[in-house]
Amino acid sequence: MASGFNGQNFVFHGYLPVEKRDRNSSLRKLEQEAYRKNQTQIFIETPYRNMQMFDSILDSCLPGTRMCIAVNITTPEESIKTLAIEMWKKQKPAIHKQPAVFLIYK
């Protein structure tokens, strides 16, 4: 709910493929589903691979697609931020080795 995305229609995918090519392909498919079904796409990554996931999302998704990154949920260091991909390209979040949840939506 803090993402501002559709909370009535969402899918949690767990982990996406580790291999970059397969991960990017999966991300493009999830993005298409977000637009086609008006559906929030939610997934996670191992904390030490967060930046690889972040970079893959930037490489794979359209500039206007929105992404939310929720880090350290339920801790005093909690951070939940939603921006369009084009805005994320201008700033890198401090998410390396932090438990994070990624969401994409139209």
- Cβ pair 49, 18 in contact under 8 A: yes
Structure confidence at residue 18 (pLDDT) = 95
Range of the domain at 29: 10-105
Structure confidence at residue 6 (pLDDT) = 84
Rounded Cα distance between 37 and 6, Å, is: 11
In tens digits, the chain (106 residues) has pLDDT values of 778 788 999 999 999 999 999 999 999 999 999 999 999 999 999 999 999 999 999 999 999 999 999 999 999 999 999 999 999 999 999 999 999 999 999 9
Has residue 58 been placed in a domain? Answer: yes
Return the SS3 of 20: helix
- Cβ pair 91, 27 in contact under 8 A: no
Rg of the chain, C-alpha, whole Å:
13
Has residue 25 been placed in a domain? Answer: yes
Structure confidence at residue 91 (pLDDT) = 92
* Entry pTM: 0.93
Domain count for the chain: 1
Structure confidence at residue 8 (pLDDT) = 92
Has residue 4 been placed in a domain? Answer: no
